[in-house]
Structure 1
Amino acid sequence: MPTFREVMKAVQVTLDDKTSGKRMREIESILRTHQAYSGLTPEKATAILEDLGPTFVKMGQIASNRSDIIPKAYADAFKALRANVAPVPFETIVEIIENSLGHPWRETFAEIEQEPLGSASVAQVHCARLAQGLGEPVPTNAEPERSKTAAGASTGDGAVVAVKVRRPFVVEQMAEDLTLVRHALALAGLTHVAGEMMLTIDELVDELERTTAEELDFCVETSNLERFHTEIADQQGVTSPVPYPAYGSDEVLVMEYIEGVQINDVDRLRIQGDDPAELGRRLAENYVTQFIDNGFFHADPHPGNILVRDHDIVWIDLGMTGELSDAERAIVGKMFFAVVQNDPFALKDALLTLAKARGPVDHSLLLDQLSALLAQYASVSLADINVGTAMLDVIEILRSQNLTLPSSLTMLARGAVTIEGVLVDISPKTSIVDIISDHVKKQAFTFDHAIAKTKDMLMATAAAAEATTRLPTQLSHTLDMIDRGYMKVGADLNMPKDFIAALYSVSGTVALALISAGLFVGSSLIAQTNMQPQLLEVPLLGFLGYLGAFVLGVYVIWRTLITRHQQRNDKKVE
């Protein structure tokens, strides 16, 4: 039965839902068609998202990076989702561009190609050329061949650019669909029809709202392009498109057009004179630099987003990025160091520093699970460890313990899996683990790291000194409370039953020996008197005492010999 809290949540979401009834009926029809109310499987959920349309496809793509929130099987299934949709008419694209610019498009662009380069759920991209004198000219060999141009356009010598235009009404549709999802989740919470999936997807929707809000605002992607281009500028042979923020807005993004060969197209790479193995090493080195050194990384590094142009690796599509704070990067370094050192305690401490608990945590079981995982990797060569797979294994363990990591770390894990898949094709001997180890070691000898380490030591020393000064007072108060009866002290020794039985046996034997000795001493004192009656000129009471002492003495000797025999032969002491 649903709880009162669940009922009230459903009522509140229902009252707040101002979305279209038509859209709700469409979603309900699709769910009934796939028999979603009878239970979900990863395959069924993927098919449902595809039928629900571009917005839900985008949700699934984002959800595929959150295996700590949704079950891993669902995250893997959602990786297969594609967002290729019918393109928006060119006239509509031109209207959006002109509304963004505030003037006719020909004042900024010499030409815009009518046929889009790609059309996805959020935006579509057109190749264009800036008007004469705008932007930096690009080399002739980097210019794409033009098949169609807009009517009336003239050819200029400005830079060749890619114009990314947000689809009309996608913001409103995304907001509406998210509201409908929350409504559906609230109602599903009353019946619990979807089991584990429904228990975790509510938190996923919170993540989706934040992520999609960033992806729908092209000003954010423009900022990502500027930052990413700046941070990799000092790395030889790696670059990214140059953005043109002066011509863009929140719904239009203008950036350098990149034409190149996909990083995993080995045959074409060799034809144009590139060494795939060298490109792989450079790619791995750059990706590790992104998240270990810079803390800002490409979160969707599939081969279609990594091109090779003029022997340079070019990262494109910065719509999805991840960011790690200085503290998070330090802890990630500790995590990798713990794996290399096979130290489950250090790994557990590092993970718990970052993880957020969503329920009870069995710390003993968590340590056992991490120990078993490290034992599994201990038998594998360091160069053969897949970083992404190892991170996903850790995330799955944490999820089983009601723990979730920041979204940036789950995005990093998925990204590492993708990068390592690319390396298998082009440079199988390249080990990301080795590169990470080198970066972590280098950081250990930097001035900033030394300063941070010194601060940590000083803070730990200060905390220890403060605790030491408080210890006598705390001990005095504790003893005073015990003395006044305000506190009781109990102990549970949890000794084995065999040990307790042996202790009883030994203590009984000692007690009998003391009684025997007491009878002997007492009888000797009585024997010195003339107490009547007597037997063999000895008071009868003393005689009986001697007899009892003798019998008990013989029994004690016999029990001692038996106990000794049992101990020497590893038998149970009785």
Structure 2
Amino acid sequence: MATFQEFMRLAKISLEDKTSHKRMNEIVKIMHEYHVLSGLTPQRAVEVLQALGPTYVKIGQLASNRSDLLPKEYCDAFETLRDDADPMPFETVIEQIDTAYQVSWHTVFASIDPVPLGAASIAQVHKATLLDGTVVAVKVRRPGVAESMAEDITLMKHLLAAGELASNSHREILLSLEGFVEEIERTTINEVDFSIELHNLERFRREIAHQEGVTCPVAYPEYSTESVLVMEFVQGVEISDTVALREQGVDVDALARRVCQSYVTQVLDCGFFHADPHPGNILVRDGEVVWIDLGMVGSLTASERMLVGQAFTAVATDNAYLLKEAVTGLVRIIGPVDHGALLDALSRLLAEYSTAEVKEINVGTVLTEVIELLRSQNMVMVSSVTMLARGFVTIEGVIAQVAPNISVIEIVSRHVIAQQGDPKYVATRLVDLMISGTGSVEALAKLPTQLSNTLEMVDRGQIKLNGNVDVSSRVLATLYASVGRLSLALLSAGLFLGSSILCTTNMQPQLLEVPLLGVLGYIGAFVLGSYCVFRIMVSRHRLLNNEEPR
């Protein structure tokens, strides 16, 4: 039976749904024409999206990055969708600019080229000149596209709500589709709001400022709005046009390494990366790499960057345990998980690549296959990582086209190794170790109390234990001694790590320009460590001479 909450949800969406019956009839007609109810092959699904119009073409492009929710063959098919669309009339472009500025475009631009540089489902781009003579590119949103996409997404929510109300079967599928629609809604909102792309441009330029020979267009926020984006006009050669690049004297192998290193740095160091790195979005201008079209970007948190780095290391070193530890930290669990089967599947996956040369391993392909394995174990990868996997598939295709002898996995491996030697990375790991060590010491300190409480509950009859355990006093004495020495060893390690961190600060008072508290911590750690070693040697001597332990 449907719940009252589901009734209310359907009613709320029905009130918000402004989609006209005409549009509904159009969709139903197209669905009937393509026999959707009889099933769709990946290629047929692409044709349906194209027939439904620009909004659904964009949705298909976004869906290509969600291999955690859709089968791989459909994601691959959706990736073939292109943003090519019939251009808007120039009069419509001018109307959109005037509406955005609320004044005539002549107050901002000296001229606008009526022939578009490119036309897509959401916007088209024109070359223009500012009043000061600066040549820029103007991206203008199509009229009504934001409203159209919002209505189509509302319609999808409506259908999902009706499906949940009609049947309780296939609940997991409906939940996955609901999450997918929510993801599309968030992404499309970012796509149609050019102020977000403006922010992406500004941030991306800051993040890659230290990368030599790599840049992106300069944004002009004073001339940009929600529906109009003004940026530097970039005239260059697509990175895939190797003939033209060689004619200009460009070393395409060095160029491919620079592009690959730039992308790896974006992912592992910045945590802010270009999510659509196809050849048309990577231009070469006077030997300089220019990343364009920052409408679709991905971002990773510090912990996600660390886990992604571990996953890359695991693939390169054929370490299934490390790969499982890394990927399970990047998922959302939606059902029962067989961890043994998952580890076995990951081991077999890596075994397939262990016989291949490292340079022959495709990072994007491996990540995509890992995502498929996780999906089979009721684990859904976070959207940023699935977007990253598709990005690596794309960038590896670009590198293979430009310089087939360049190995992406080798560049990734070298970067991860260099990153582990970075002082910032080491400091972060020391802090993590200190926190973990402190937690272990605290847990060990609580153990006697917890054991005492447990025994008291047993004595009261709140816990019943059945068994007959006969342990000699010698074994118990050895156990107590071992626990005590382990406690001292953990305390010594904690003091050492804490003192190491303190010695990097300017804490007062100091002894020989080193914080006094850190020096005392080192001394304490040395004394405790020495005592532990001494007691271990004494115990070994007594064991060899068959003496009673103390």
Q: TM-score, normalised by structure 1?
A: 0.77
Q: CA deviation at 1:38?
A: 2.8
Partner of 2:214: 238
Please tell me whether residue 30 in structure 1 is matched to residue 22 in structure 2.
Answer: no
Q: CA deviation at 1:198?
A: 5.5
- RMSD (Å), alpha carbons: 2.2
Q: Is the 8 A contact 1:39 1:194 kept in 2?
A: no
**Equivalent position to 1:174, from 121, 146, 149:** 149
Q: Which residue identity does 2:437 align to in structure 1?
A: T
Q: CA deviation at 1:472?
A: 1.3
Decide which moves more: 31-40 or 285-294: 31-40
Separation in 1, partners of 2:171, 2:216: 43
Does the C-alpha gap of structure 1 residues 450 and 114 become closer, same or farther in structure 2, counting only changes over 3 Å? same
Partner of 2:79: 79
**Equivalent position to 1:316, from 292, 304, 308:** 292
Q: Is the 8 A contact 1:214 1:220 kept in 2?
A: yes
Partner of 1:161: 136
Partner of 2:158: 183
Q: CA deviation at 1:484?
A: 3.9
Q: CA deviation at 1:342?
A: 2.4
Q: Is the 8 A contact 1:356 1:403 kept in 2?
A: yes
Partner of 2:278: 302
**Equivalent position to 1:355, from 323, 326, 331:** 331
Decide which moves more: 203-212 or 77-86: 77-86
Deviations 1:361-401 (A, max 9, x none): 22221111111112222222222111110110111111111
Separation in 2, partners of 1:239, 1:79: 26
Kindly report which structure 2 residues correspond to 1:448-527, keeping only aligned pairs within 5 A, or say none: 448-489=424-465
Does the C-alpha gap of structure 1 residues 222 and 313 become closer, same or farther in structure 2, counting only changes over 3 Å? same
Separation in 2, partners of 1:69, 1:92: 38
Separation in 1, partners of 2:152, 2:380: 25
Partner of 2:92: 92
Kindly report which structure 2 residues correspond to 1:262-411, keeping only aligned pairs within 5 A, or say none: 262-411=238-387
Q: CA deviation at 1:35?
A: 1.6
Partner of 1:557: none
SS in 2 for 1:318: coil
Q: CA deviation at 1:344?
A: 1.9
Q: CA deviation at 1:470?
A: 1.3
Separation in 1, partners of 2:82, 2:313: 37
Separation in 1, partners of 2:75, 2:318: 28
Deviations 1:217-246 (A, max 9, x none): 111111111121222222222221111111
Separation in 2, partners of 1:302, 1:349: 31
Q: CA deviation at 1:477?
A: 2.4
Q: CA deviation at 1:199?
A: 5.8
Please tell me whether residue 109 in structure 1 is matched to residue 109 in structure 2.
Answer: yes
Q: Which residue identity does 1:300 align to in structure 2?
A: D
Q: CA deviation at 1:354?
A: 1.9
Q: CA deviation at 1:16?
A: 4.1
Q: CA deviation at 1:9?
A: 5.1
Separation in 1, partners of 2:113, 2:170: 47
Separation in 2, partners of 1:228, 1:168: 28
Separation in 1, partners of 2:173, 2:13: 20
Deviations 1:281-333 (A, max 9, x none): 11111111111111111100001111111111111111001111211111111
SS in 1 for 2:114: coil
SS in 1 for 2:405: coil
Q: Is the 8 A contact 1:40 1:194 kept in 2?
A: no
Partner of 2:121: 121
Q: Which residue identity does 2:44 align to in structure 1?
A: K
Kindly report which structure 2 residues correspond to 1:64-75, keeping only aligned pairs within 5 A, or say none: 64-75=64-75
Deviations 1:328-352 (A, max 9, x none): 1111111122223322222222222
Partner of 1:258: 234
SS in 1 for 2:454: helix
Separation in 2, partners of 1:489, 1:415: 56
Decide which moves more: 341-350 or 48-57: 341-350
Separation in 2, partners of 1:281, 1:33: 48
Partner of 1:431: 407
Q: Is the 8 A contact 1:225 1:240 kept in 2?
A: yes
Q: Is the 8 A contact 1:70 1:197 kept in 2?
A: no
% identity of equivalent residues: 51
Q: CA deviation at 1:125?
A: 0.7
Does the C-alpha gap of structure 1 residues 403 and 275 become closer, same or farther in structure 2, counting only changes over 3 Å? same
Separation in 1, partners of 2:287, 2:88: 35
Separation in 2, partners of 1:419, 1:59: 21
Q: TM-score, normalised by structure 2?
A: 0.80
Q: Which residue identity does 1:84 align to in structure 2?
A: D
Q: Is the 8 A contact 1:299 1:320 kept in 2?
A: yes
Does the C-alpha gap of structure 1 residues 106 and 448 become closer, same or farther in structure 2, counting only changes over 3 Å? same
Separation in 1, partners of 2:171, 2:246: 50
Separation in 2, partners of 1:88, 1:64: 26
Does the C-alpha gap of structure 1 residues 11 and 389 become closer, same or farther in structure 2, counting only changes over 3 Å? same
Deviations 1:462-512 (A, max 9, x none): 111111111112222223333444334579xxxxxxxxxxxxxxxxxxxxx
Partner of 1:499: none
Q: CA deviation at 1:8?
A: 6.5
Partner of 1:537: none
Q: CA deviation at 1:445?
A: 1.9
Q: Is the 8 A contact 1:388 1:415 kept in 2?
A: yes
Q: How many residues align?
A: 466
Separation in 2, partners of 1:15, 1:243: 40
**Structure 1 unaligned spans of 5+:** 134-157, 492-574
Separation in 2, partners of 1:425, 1:376: 24
Separation in 2, partners of 1:322, 1:415: 9
**Structure 2 unaligned spans of 5+:** 468-550
Deviations 1:142-165 (A, max 9, x none): xxxxxxxxxxxxxxxx12111000
